[in-house]
Chain A
Amino acid sequence: MRAGHVVAVGRRVLLQIRRDPRFIGLSLLVPCAIVVLLKLVLDAWPALDRIGVDAGANALPAGAFVVHFVAYVLAAIALVRERTGGTLDRMLVATFRRGEIVLGYVVGFATLAAVQAGLVIVTIALLYDVPRLWARLPIVLAVVFLLAIASIALGLLVSSTARSEGQIFPFIPLVIVPSLLLSGLLIPFAELSWPLQALARLVPLTYAEDVLVPVFRDGSPAADRLPYLALLAAYAAALLAVASLTLRERE
């Protein structure tokens, strides 16, 4: 693993993102727009208070979902382009190693995800009444950072099965719908049946919500959730390792 090569890939990925205004719009403005939209919908729904749902307590777990979704889809599309355009082969022949390419992608997209997460958190802080947001910021940032890495790895993994950008689309709901339903964001994880819990363990968002939901919804101390943060880190690392195996030259 050569650091210079990782940085070269990361820089190139960021340069490409910068050159594509649609990409920047999609990745930075859309997540904030979703957060705003959610606020407008929740405000227009007075029944929410009566059934005891606190929008502020759910804003960050929902924000994590938005970051996950965008990082996953964008990384998948970027790598499919790389595979179908022949530039992946060219990188490999130009002596870039698989691990360097994967980590370079992580550097590039995690930088994007960091900016994105910053904007989402600021939007949430402005719109919602989130209890003790600033005190809990370190754990939020840690979760979002690790979740972004897992999302990128998942995107890279999915890209290996697609032969064109269009073939990515069926994979979007395949990850996103279970994430939404099973991660603990909408339905408490403990209330799922065991087969659904097992299924939920496959999607990265579950590991992030393991940390965020108890902290923000139930007021658990952040320190209590550190083991789950470690689990998220392990999951992200494992997914990255698997994703790097799929970069193997076609044989």
Chain B
Amino acid sequence: MSTTRQDVRAAVAFERFRKVFGATVAVDGLDLRIPEGSIYGLLGPNGSGKTTCIRALCGLLRPTSGTVRLLDGDAHADRARLRSRLGYMPQRPALYEDLTAIENLSFFARGLSVTDPETRARELLGLVALAERAAEPVYGFSGGMKQRVSLACALLHEPPVLLLDEPTAGVDPLLRRRMWSTFGALRDRGATVVVSTNQLDEALHCDRLAVLREGRLLAEDTPASLLDRGRARVTLRRDGRVETFELRDYERELPALLGADGVESVRVERDTLEDVVLRLVEEGEA
């Protein structure tokens, strides 16, 4: 079953959102709707405005102009009411290093008025595979372990909206895959997961992507459609000669090429999502 965007309510909507810090324009008139119950990727190089978008959704920033809507309210004006329904994972782990993993989680659980904070904290440490390290102070943890504790903090109250700022930075590939399957499971239970990343390979896990550069939206689509914007390089061996073609729409153009006489072998190299996004970013620079 496929759903179009109009069928689904937006969990998040940026409308002409602009945020200026001193002389720096962090986000420049962004219009974006993030459908409920999806994994939505904010993709872009450093300084593209991803963190500003996420912090604005947490109500930590007031838009310079435009509005940022989250669920049924204004992300900044209604932050006191909305925050109990969002889970936030900042870019840096943001934990109390002298405290143990369980003490960190129990503290934030008390803030979120979770019933039985300790039990819930233990449950989540199990989820992020740190149950055995629960009683150790966080300062002894590796970067990836801190990220996992930080993710657990964001999940304490089972929020309907998760805002994750580069959640997999410093996490090894195996755990990264597990984190993404956790995000998938959360989405399947109806949560909206907004993830910022500059890891292009990870973006394929998202249902939709927004490609940002210098605070502007370059593209907004599903990963598959973005991939379709990529080019294909076709190398043909025909009558003993090697010829290469660059095709913009290879699904339509390739049959014609292959239909010619004397084709002995063919090799097709398609753009990866990384190629597509990097080209978008470069074109944005030009």
Residues of A within 8 A of B (CB): 4-5, 8, 12, 15-16, 19-20, 85-87, 89-97, 249-251
Contact B96 A16 (CB under 8 A): yes
| Contact of A93 (CB < 8 Å), options: B60, B97, B137 | B60
| Contact of A249 (CB < 8 Å), options: B59, B93, B99, B103 | B59
Specify which chain A residues have a CB less than 8 angstroms from the CB of B110 in the assembled complex.
4-5, 8
Specify which chain A residues have a CB less than 8 angstroms from the CB of B96 in the assembled complex.
12, 16, 87
Cβ-based interface call for B108 (8 A) = yes
Closest A residue to B90 by CB, please name it: A86
Specify which chain B residues have a CB less than 8 angstroms from the CB of A251 in the assembled complex.
61-62
Contact B107 A8 (CB under 8 A): yes
A93 to B82, CA, bound (A): 9
Contact A93 B58 (CB under 8 A): yes
Cβ-based interface call for B175 (8 A) = no
Cβ-based interface call for B92 (8 A) = yes
| Contact of B99 (CB < 8 Å), options: A8, A16, A93, A94 | A16
Cβ-based interface call for B88 (8 A) = yes
Contact A90 B88 (CB under 8 A): yes
Contact B83 A93 (CB under 8 A): yes
Contact A19 B98 (CB under 8 A): yes
Specify which chain A residues have a CB less than 8 angstroms from the CB of B86 in the assembled complex.
93
Cβ-based interface call for B225 (8 A) = no
A16 to B103, CA, bound (A): 10
Cβ-based interface call for B286 (8 A) = no
Contact A90 B61 (CB under 8 A): no
A12 to B97, CA, bound (A): 12
Mark each residue of chain B from 124 to 138: 1 if its CB lies under 8 Å from any CB of chain A, else 0.
000000000000010
Specify which chain B residues have a CB less than 8 angstroms from the CB of A96 in the assembled complex.
111
> Known interface pairs A95-B83, A95-B84, A249-B59. Does A89 touch B107 (Cβ–Cβ under 8 Å)?
no
Q: How many A-B residue pairs have CB under 8 A?
A: 73
| Contact of A97 (CB < 8 Å), options: B55, B80, B99 | B80
18 sample A-B contacts, Cβ–Cβ < 8 Å, listed by A number: A4-B113, A5-B110, A8-B110, A12-B107, A16-B98, A19-B99, A20-B98, A85-B95, A89-B90, A89-B94, A90-B90, A91-B108, A91-B111, A92-B60, A92-B83, A94-B83, A95-B112, A250-B60
Q: In whole Å, how far is B56's beta carbon from the nearest beta carbon of chain A?
A: 10
Specify which chain B residues have a CB less than 8 angstroms from the CB of A93 in the assembled complex.
58-60, 83, 86, 88
Cβ-based interface call for B153 (8 A) = yes
| Contact of A95 (CB < 8 Å), options: B62, B99, B111 | B111
Specify which chain B residues have a CB less than 8 angstroms from the CB of A95 in the assembled complex.
80, 83-84, 111-113
Contact A19 B137 (CB under 8 A): yes
Mark each residue of chain B from 22 to 64: 1 if its CB lies under 8 Å from any CB of chain A, else 0.
0000000000000000000000000000000001001111100
A19 to B153, CA, bound (A): 21
Query: Which residue of B60, B61, B88, B95 has the most chain A CB atoms within 10 A of its CB atom?
Result: B60
> Known interface pairs A12-B99, A19-B137, A249-B61. Does A86 touch B111 (Cβ–Cβ under 8 Å)?
no
Mark each residue of chain B from 71 to 109: 1 if its CB lies under 8 Å from any CB of chain A, else 0.
000000000100110101011111111110001000110
Closest A residue to B153 by CB, please name it: A90
A5 to B95, CA, bound (A): 18
Extra contacts, 16 of them, besides A12-B107, A93-B58, A249-B59 (Cβ < 8 A), are A5-B111, A19-B98, A85-B94, A86-B93, A87-B94, A87-B96, A89-B60, A90-B88, A91-B111, A93-B59, A93-B86, A94-B83, A95-B113, A249-B61, A250-B60, A250-B61
Closest A residue to B110 by CB, please name it: A8
Specify which chain A residues have a CB less than 8 angstroms from the CB of B95 in the assembled complex.
85, 87
Contact A249 B113 (CB under 8 A): no
Mark each residue of chain B from 187 to 205: 1 if its CB lies under 8 Å from any CB of chain A, else 0.
0000000000000000000
Specify which chain A residues have a CB less than 8 angstroms from the CB of B137 in the assembled complex.
19
| Contact of B58 (CB < 8 Å), options: A12, A85, A89, A97 | A89
A16 to B138, CA, bound (A): 12
Closest A residue to B109 by CB, please name it: A94
Contact A85 B99 (CB under 8 A): no
Specify which chain A residues have a CB less than 8 angstroms from the CB of B83 in the assembled complex.
92-95
Contact B60 A15 (CB under 8 A): no
A207 to B61, CA, bound (A): 38
Specify which chain A residues have a CB less than 8 angstroms from the CB of B107 in the assembled complex.
8, 12
Closest A residue to B89 by CB, please name it: A90
- Report B151-178 residues with CB < 8 Å from chain A CB: 153
A19 to B96, CA, bound (A): 11
Q: In whole Å, how far is B25's beta carbon from the nearest beta carbon of chain A?
A: 16
> Known interface pairs A16-B99, A90-B153. Does A249 touch B60 (Cβ–Cβ under 8 Å)?
yes
